[in-house]
């Protein structure tokens, strides 16, 4: 059983959904970024997605784009991302870490080397936005072979005919994208999300986490009624960005702001009593 | 399209959109079903004689095809070697080859019932062509253009506005063509039901590289026929500039299986290939990577972050190249060269003065290599320049570089 599986099982045993948080590695700088990961775990994040910054994040909205640029300006590289994960893992043996980003930096780093180094750093899985099932041979199949989870996005455009191929090589959990759009955009329609989650669960035994457009504790609570996990990214990044000075530098207040919102989100998720799913 | 022998170089891509290791479909899941439905619609359209007939009619009566294959007599005399012809795509409606592809895609969008067209543009030529076709067919048109390019290509921005298109200046990233493409993809992922993404070059996820190439093959098909009529034989060499590479692949593709025809693609060497991030020559100065839906040669740093590149020509200023070119480089069928800003400027002036034709800065890069190579060829060598666009849009840029004219 993987760290991700164990964590989702433990959360389920508590009768609640998991809080999955996303922040960009190296934002606003490598040292604060590590502190933020620790603060997220402390505040109640059950799973942490760590962004691997890329110059051309075409599925992301303004908040995540800006976070990636700040990280790159602060000198972040894929090697640097793995270093932050390794540091985090030294102090936290249980919180699953999912690397999230785009394929090109991984391709250039070298797929085999990336998988070896990610595993050694203590990462548990990855989400690579621009690798649909049609390109599974690139990274998905080698990742599974290396013992890392490959978490796939399912979207409102993924119909029943296509779902089986999307789910075929997915492990860990399924990430349902609640809207058609980029990260951090419109608020999802909760009733449609609930229907979509049910549809996906009809095809898989994996937990289904829902993200895109979840901005606050109230929204997290709504999503947690039907999903096994709630993913929040842009809202945390907005909280982070709000503490930066004119030069883009952060400080202790940055870590505190992210931790505070994560705590509220965790409370929101825990407050979802009327869970529609067993 | 692919009627040639089993060893033909014209059979790509495979069913998954691969030219060798290049191409593919590297897109977010939200877009994958859209790309599959586009592929299906295109497969159906290209087997439909009515679709071809309508496109042919538009190309003839709206665009003004066939474009002439013109003997550049004074250029030939001056260079003293090969006999030089210009394939005059700059005489097309809207002044460049871009319209060939746009009309093909817009007719497809109409078949698919899409009412909203989005496009990216760098120099603005593809944006103008798309705005033109949308005006002609009464479709909503949104063009994404890097804020930097909006500044340096104002006349084209005005043209697009005049044609009823909405031009959105892109402020993200480096604010040039690649960022415009990112923003168009973000639009598409948001507006999945009613929107058709009209990509301007032979790049992006499958089926775009093959589809755009097919629409641009009219350039090479006509050249072949016209040269047979004029000279009774095939040309000996073809030259075309390469940004994404759509005019080049359109000129080259019908000749890929004719080994006697030398093919030369010319990238933008900007300030020089040895200047870090100072050129836009993806093949000469980049390496394989994945961006904008396909694997191809890209300009990037050691961490896989995409670089901007530089060229005096906004139309060549893209850090990637169509995947079929990447494959044709690796198998050696096409020779890829590069020309600097300065070489292109010199060729731009030479062409204007000797032939009375002001070329766009993009094909001026290809002409620069003709200036270099034509003198070394015998007089019976038939050499063709793909003159992909006219230079009106570039006169202010050129004036800046020449210190005012």
Where, residue-wise, is CATH 3.40.50.1100 in chain B? Answer: 18-60+98-208, 66-95+217-401
Q: Is the confidence at residue B178, as pLDDT, over 90? A: yes
Q: Is the confidence at residue B353, as pLDDT, over 50? A: yes
d(CA B111, CA B335): 38
Q: How confident is the model at residue B404 (pLDDT cuts 50, 70, 90)?
A: low
d(CA A188, CA B106): 32
Q: Looking at the partner chain, which of B32, B291, B295 has a beta carbon nearest the beta carbon of A56? A: B291
Strands B116-121 and B195-197: parallel
B333-370 CB burial, b ≥16 within 10 A, e <16: bbebbbbbbebbbbbbebbbebbebbbbbbbbbbbbbb
Residue B200: CA atoms inside 13 Å, Cβ hemisphere, count? 33
pLDDT at residue B376 in the model: 98
Span A179-204, average pLDDT: 92
Span B392-400, average pLDDT: 90
Span B272-281, average pLDDT: 95
Span A85-92, average pLDDT: 98
Nearest CA to B144 among B135, B131, B133? B131
How far is Cα of residue B376 from the mean position of the Cα atoms in its chain?
A: 28
| Alpha helices by DSSP H, B9-162 | 32-46, 49-58, 73-79, 98-111, 125-137, 147-152, 154-162
Q: How confident is the model at residue B403 (pLDDT cuts 50, 70, 90)?
A: confident
Q: Is B291 helix (H, G, I), strand (E, B) or coil?
A: strand
Cβ separation A153–B29 shorter than 8 A: yes
Q: What whole-number percentage of chain B has pLDDT above 70? A: 98
ipTM of the complex model = 0.95
Nearest CA to A72 among A28, A37, A104? A28
Count CB pairs under 8 A between chains A and B: 120
Identify the contact set of chain A against chain B, taking CB-CB distances under 8 A: 54-62, 65, 69, 72, 77-79, 102-109, 129-135, 152-159, 162, 166, 177, 180-182, 185
Q: How confident is the model at residue B172 (pLDDT cuts 50, 70, 90)?
A: confident
Where on the phi/psi map is residue B124: left (φ > 0), alpha (ψ -120 to 50), or beta? left
Taking only the tens place, the pLDDT of each residue in A256-268 is 999 999 999 999 9
Domain covering B66-95+217-401 assigned CATH 1.10.760.10 in the classification: no
Q: Is the confidence at residue A274, as pLDDT, over 80? A: no
d(CA B327, CA B323): 6
Helix axes A252-270, A30-43, angle to 10 degrees: 30
Q: How confident is the model at residue A162 (pLDDT cuts 50, 70, 90)?
A: very high
Q: Is the confidence at residue B400, as pLDDT, over 70? A: yes
pLDDT at residue B140 in the model: 98
pLDDT at residue B309 in the model: 87
Q: Is the confidence at residue B5, as pLDDT, over 70? A: no
Q: Give the active site residues of B.
A: 98, 120, 388
With residues binned 3-state (H G I as helix, E B as strand, rest as coil), the percentages for chain A, rounded to 5, are 45, 15, 40
DSSP element (H, E) containing B341: helix B341-355
d(CA B130, CA B201): 12
Q: Which residues does B65 contact at the CB level (< 8 Å), separation at least 6?
A: B59, B92, B100, B218, B222
Cβ separation B33–A109 shorter than 8 A: no
d(CA A97, CA A1): 15
Taking only the tens place, the pLDDT of each residue in A198-224 is 999 999 999 999 999 899 999 999 999
pLDDT at residue A186 in the model: 81
β-bridge mates for residue B142, sequence order: B118, B166
Q: How confident is the model at residue B364 (pLDDT cuts 50, 70, 90)?
A: very high
Identify the contact set of chain B against chain A, taking CB-CB distances under 8 A: 16, 24-34, 172-173, 178-179, 181-182, 185-186, 189-192, 289-293, 295, 298, 300, 302-306
Cβ separation B306–A56 shorter than 8 A: yes
Where on the phi/psi map is residue A175: left (φ > 0), alpha (ψ -120 to 50), or beta? beta
Say if residues B74 and B353 touch (Cβ distance below 8 Å). no
Chain A residue closest in CA terms to B175: A56
Mean pLDDT score across all residues of chain A: 95
β-bridge mates for residue B385, sequence order: B86, B239
Superfamily of domain A3-13+20-270: Aldolase class I (3.20.20.70)
Chain B residue closest in CA terms to A109: B303
Cβ separation B298–A156 shorter than 8 A: no
pLDDT at residue A1 in the model: 86
| Alpha helices by DSSP H, B232-315 | 246-252, 282-285
Cβ separation A180–B190 shorter than 8 A: yes
The domain segmentation of chain A, as residue ranges, is 3-13+20-270
DSSP state of A248: S
Q: Which residues does A268 contact at the CB level (< 8 Å), separation at least 6?
A: A216, A217, A218, A219, A220, A221, A224
Chain A residue closest in CA terms to B26: A130
DSSP element (H, E) containing A258: helix A252-270
Cα of A13 to nearest chain B Cα, Å:
31
Contacts of B32 in chain A (CB under 8 A): 132-134, 157-158, 162
pLDDT at residue A259 in the model: 98
d(CA B343, CA B347): 6
d(CA B341, CA B272): 8
Q: Is B281 helix (H, G, I), strand (E, B) or coil?
A: coil
pLDDT at residue B1 in the model: 46
Span A239-248, average pLDDT: 96
How far is Cα of residue B161 from the mean position of the Cα atoms in its chain?
A: 23
Residue at token pair 């800065």: B361
Taking only the tens place, the pLDDT of each residue in A34-53 is 999 999 999 999 999 999 99
d(CA A58, CA B145): 15
Sheet containing strand A125-128, edge to edge, reads A149-150, A125-128, A97-101, A47-51, A18-24, A229-232, A208-211, A174-177, A153-154
d(CA B126, CA B147): 16
Taking only the tens place, the pLDDT of each residue in B40-56 is 999 999 999 999 999 99
d(CA B294, CA B373): 33
Span A121-139, average pLDDT: 97
Q: Is the confidence at residue A277, as pLDDT, over 70? A: no
pLDDT at residue A187 in the model: 86
Chain B residue closest in CA terms to A61: B186
Q: Is the confidence at residue A72, as pLDDT, over 80? A: yes
Domain covering B18-60+98-208 assigned CATH 3.40.50.1100 in the classification: yes
pLDDT at residue B2 in the model: 46
Mean pLDDT score across all residues of chain B: 95
Nearest CA to B173 among B292, B325, B283? B292
């Amino acid at each position: 059983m993987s760290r991700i599986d164990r964590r989702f099982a433990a959360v389920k045993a508590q009768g609640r959904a998991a809080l999955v948080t996303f922040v960009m590695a190296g934002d606003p700088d490598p040292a604060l970024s590590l502190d933020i990961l620790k603060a997220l775990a402390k505040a109640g994040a059950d799973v942490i997605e760590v962004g691997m910054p890329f110059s051309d994040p075409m599925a992301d909205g303004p908040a995540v784009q800006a976070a990636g640029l700040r990280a790159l300006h602060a000198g972040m590289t894929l090697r640097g991302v793995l270093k932050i994960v390794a540091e985090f893992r030294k102090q936290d043996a249980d919180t699953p870490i999912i690397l999230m980003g785009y394929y090109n930096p991984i391709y250039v780093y070298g797929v085999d080397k990336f998988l070896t180094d990610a595993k050694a750093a203590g990462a548990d899985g990855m989400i690579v936005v621009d690798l649909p099932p049609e390109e599974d041979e690139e990274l998905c199949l080698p990742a599974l072979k290396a013992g890392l989870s490959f978490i796939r996005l399912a979207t409102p455009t993924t119909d029943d005919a296509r779902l089986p191929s999307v789910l075929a090589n997915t492990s860990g959990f399924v990430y349902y994208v609640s809207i058609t759009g980029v990260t951090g955009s419109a608020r999802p329609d909760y009733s449609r999300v609930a229907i979509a989650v049910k549809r996906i669960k009809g095809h898989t035994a994996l937990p289904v986490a829902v993200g895109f457009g979840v901005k606050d504790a109230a929204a997290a609570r709504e999503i947690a009624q039907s999903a096994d996990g709630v993913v929040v990214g842009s809202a945390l990044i907005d909280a982070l960005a709000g503490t930066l000075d004119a030069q883009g530098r952060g400080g202790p207040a940055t870590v505190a702001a992210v931790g505070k919102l994560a705590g509220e989100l965790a409370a929101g998720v825990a407050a979802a009593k009327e869970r529609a799913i067993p | 399209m692919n009627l040639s022998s089993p060893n033909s170089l014209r059979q790509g891509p495979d069913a998954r959109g691969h030219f060798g290791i290049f191409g593919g479909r590297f897109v977010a899941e939200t877009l994958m079903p859209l790309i599959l439905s586009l592929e299906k619609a295109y497969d159906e359209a290209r087997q439909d004689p009515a679709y071809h007939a309508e496109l042919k009619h538009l190309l003839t009566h709206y665009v003004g095809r066939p474009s002439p294959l013109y003997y550049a007599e004074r250029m030939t005399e001056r260079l003293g070697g090969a006999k030089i012809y210009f394939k005059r795509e700059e005489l097309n409606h809207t002044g460049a080859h871009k319209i060939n592809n746009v009309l093909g895609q817009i007719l497809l969008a109409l078949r698919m019932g899409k009412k909203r067209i989005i496009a990216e543009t760098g120099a603005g030529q593809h944006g103008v062509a798309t705005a033109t076709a949308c005006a002609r067919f009464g479709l909503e048109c949104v063009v994404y253009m890097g804020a930097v390019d909006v500044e340096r290509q104002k006349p084209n921005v005005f043209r697009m506005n005049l044609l009823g298109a909405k031009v959105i200046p892109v402020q993200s990233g480096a604010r040039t063509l690649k960022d415009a493409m990112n923003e168009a993809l973000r639009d598409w992922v948001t507006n999945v039901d009613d929107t058709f993404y009209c990509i301007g070059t032979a790049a992006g996820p499958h089926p775009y590289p093959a589809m755009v190439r097919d629409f641009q093959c009219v350039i090479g098909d006509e050249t072949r026929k016209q040269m047979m009529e004029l000279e009774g034989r095939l040309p000996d060499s073809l030259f075309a500039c390469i940004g994404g590479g759509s005019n080049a692949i359109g000129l080259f593709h019908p000749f890929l299986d004719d080994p006697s025809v030398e093919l030369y693609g010319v990238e933008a060497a900007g300030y020089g290939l040895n200047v870090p991030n100072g050129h836009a020559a993806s093949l000469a100065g980049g390496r394989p990577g994945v961006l904008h839906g396909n694997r191809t040669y890209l300009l990037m740093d050691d961490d896989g972050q995409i670089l901007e590149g530089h060229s005096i020509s906004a139309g060549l200023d893209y850090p990637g190249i169509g995947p079929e070119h990447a494959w044709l480089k690796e198998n050696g069928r096409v020779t890829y060269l590069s020309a600097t800003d300065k070489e292109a400027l010199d060729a731009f002036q030479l062409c204007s003065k000797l032939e009375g034709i002001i070329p766009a800065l993009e094909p001026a890069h290809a002409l620069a290599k003709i200036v270099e190579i034509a003198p070394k060829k015998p007089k019976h060598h038939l050499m063709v320049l793909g003159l992909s666009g006219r230079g009106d849009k570039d006169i202010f840029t050129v004036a800046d570089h020449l210190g005012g004219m």
